[in-house]
Amino acid sequence: MIELALHILDIAENSTRSQADLVKITILEDLKEDVLALEIGDNGCGMDEHTVKRVMDPFYTTKKVRRVGLGLPMLAQAARSTGGSFEIESKVGKGTRVSARFQHSHIDRQPLGDVPGAVSALILGNPDVDFLYTHHKNGKTYVLDTREIRQGLDGVPLNHIEVISAIRQNIREGIFELDNDG
């Protein structure tokens, strides 16, 4: 994968397939500490210890469409190649948490990419799942919580085209504000 947003999309899709009804996506950018960290957590069915070890094997996957599961091993390699780290924790019946930490300025760090597009695609494809997206950058925070959005929609589905467009635009504006002093 050429950008980290695609890793986020892949892992969060795995969360939705694991019967999660809440997926938390957290991005931390701390330029002073030279850190970029990603965390995707869910309240899905979780995995036993044996399965957690197997998901790091690129030739293991639970998906029926393809025979390889490169997502997690590729993310782990991407993080470690920048001097960072990778961790996966899971408990049966409780859910899973995947975290990757990168040296922000490392020349080999993949770009963050189209996070608004990835989060919007997740909501579009999984309208019954709630997503909590939190992005911290240099002391500022942007939060999008579909549980709050749902309350104001008066029965309009989250995957309605106008709702998705508004969500994508809101995320873009939130990230812009994180990047600027305005």
Bridge partners of 142? 135
Element holding 98 (H helix, E strand): strand 95-103
pLDDT of 1 reads 67
Q: Mean pLDDT of residues grouped by 10 in the chain (182 residues)?
A: 90 93 97 97 94 77 51 91 96 96 96 96 96 96 96 92 96 95 60
User: 112 and 27 in contact (C-beta within 8 Å)?
Assistant: yes
Q: Which of 98, 119, 118, 100 is nearest to 109 (CA)?
A: 100
Query: What does the alpha-carbon distance between residue 29 and residue 35 come to, in Å, rounded to a whole number?
Result: 6
Domains and CATH numbers, the chain: 4-179 (3.30.565.10)
